[in-house]
Amino acid sequence: MAHLLLNIDMAFFDREFMGEKVSAYFWCVGIILATLLLKRPVAGLLTRISTRLTARFSYMRHKGKIRDMLFKPIERLLQVILYYVAIHQLDNFLDHFSMQHFIGSKERLNIKLGDVLDHVFLFLFIIFLTQVIASFVDFIYYLRMGKAQIEKNQSRIQLLPLVKEMAKLLLWAISAFWIMGSVFHVNIPALITGLGIGGVAIALAGKETVENFFAAFTILSDKPFQTGDSIKLGDVEGVVERIGFRSTRLRNLDGSAYIVPNQNLVSQNLVNLSMRDNRVMKVAVNIRYGITHDALQELIAEVKKNILEIESVKAPVEVTIETLDKETFQLVVSYNLPHPLPEGKNLTALRREVNMKVFEVISGKAVLGTPIGTS
C-alpha cells in the first residue's frame, strides 16, 4: 500500500483544468460526499450541545421534543455552510462563467456565476439561521408554558403565546431586512425612511388590525378575563381558549368556536362568568288552563322539593308564571348550581336531571301543554 501511494503522481493534483487545480475539484467533491454522509450525526451532535444550554436540568425529560424542534433546522443550516465551503474550492472555475448585462449604451455589467452562487448561499444561510433561532424560541416557549401549566399560572399562560409571536415576528422582520440589504443590496436606511412616511397610510388602511393589536395588550394588562375563563359578550358565551394579536377564540358548550375581535372585548360590556360563585339555570314549560289555584301551589311545592333533592342544586328554587297565552301559561323554574361545579359533576347531566324531575312532576298532574324547551 505504501509503495502504491509513493508511486502516485502528486503532480497530477497540481494540474489545472479551466483555471482550477485538480485538487480543488477533489476537495469540492469530498466535502459534498462527507456532508451527505455525516450531516445527520453531526447535526444530532450540534443539537445536543446547543440544547444543553437551554434545557439545563430538563434536557433528558424533553429530549424527544428538543430533537423534533431543533434537529431539522440545524441539519439544513449545516448543509448550506458545508456546500458553500465545497463550492468555494472552485472559485477560479466559476469565474469562467459570466453574464453580461447592458445598463446603458456604453455601461456594461459583468455578472459572474460565483457571485450569483454567493448571493444564493447567503440567502439560504439567513433563512435557515432564522429557522434555527425561531426553533430555539419555540423550545423556550414550550419549557416556560409547561412550567406555567404545572404552576397553574393563568397570567403567564395567556401572556406567553403573545410574547412568542412577537419575538418570532421581530426575528423574521430582522431577517427580511438582512436579506434585502445583503442579498439584494437594498438601501435599508432609505427603505426605513420610506416605511416611516408610508406608515401613516398603512396605519389608516389597517385601522381595525391596529385597534385589535392594542386591545390585546389592554386585555393582558387589565386582565378582565384569562385563558380558561367562561365569558359572555352579548349573545356569545364560551370558554376562552386563546388570546391572539387580532382576536380571541371562545369555545361554546356545544363545541362551536367563536372568533371575537379583541376590540369588541374591550369596547362592549363583558361578563366574566368564571368570577361568579353560582350559576342560575332556568327551565320553562307550558301548562294547560284548568288547574286550580290549590293544585298549582301543590305542584310548585312538589317541583321545588324534588329539585332540591338533587345533590348539587343550591337554594333558592323559584317557580314563577311569566307568560299567559290563549290555551296555556308558561311556568318558569329557576334554580342555582355552584360554580365551579364539584369534581365529577357535569353541567349537561345536571340540567338533564333537573329537567326530568320537572317533567316527572308536571306530567304526573296531566297538565303539561306544548313543550317549549329549556334554558
- pLDDT tens by residue, 232-268: 888 888 888 888 878 888 998 778 888 898 888 888 8
Average pLDDT (108-116) is 67
Residue 130 is predicted with a pLDDT of 92
CA dist 40 and 55 (Å) reads 21
371 — pLDDT class (breaks 50, 70, 90): very low
Residue 64 is predicted with a pLDDT of 63
Q: At what angle do helices 154-182 and 207-222 cross, to 10 degrees?
A: 140
Amino acid in position 114:
G
The reply to whether CATH 3.10.20.440 applies to domain 217-274 is no
CA dist 188 and 249 (Å) reads 38
Residue 233 is predicted with a pLDDT of 87
pTM comes to 0.54
Which region, left, alpha or beta, applies to residue 224 given φ > 0 means left and ψ of -120 to 50 means alpha? alpha
Distance of CA 176 to the CA centre of its chain: 22
CA dist 25 and 13 (Å) reads 9
pLDDT at 321 over 60: yes
171 — pLDDT class (breaks 50, 70, 90): very high
How confident is the prediction for the chain on average, in pLDDT?
A: 76
Average pLDDT (94-99) is 61
CA dist 253 and 243 (Å) reads 19
More confident residue, 54 or 75: 75
The reply to whether CATH 3.40.50.720 applies to domain 276-364 is no
Burial category of 355 from C-beta neighbours within 10 Å (exposed 0-12, middle 13-18, buried 19 and up) = middle
**Site of grid cell 369588541:** 264
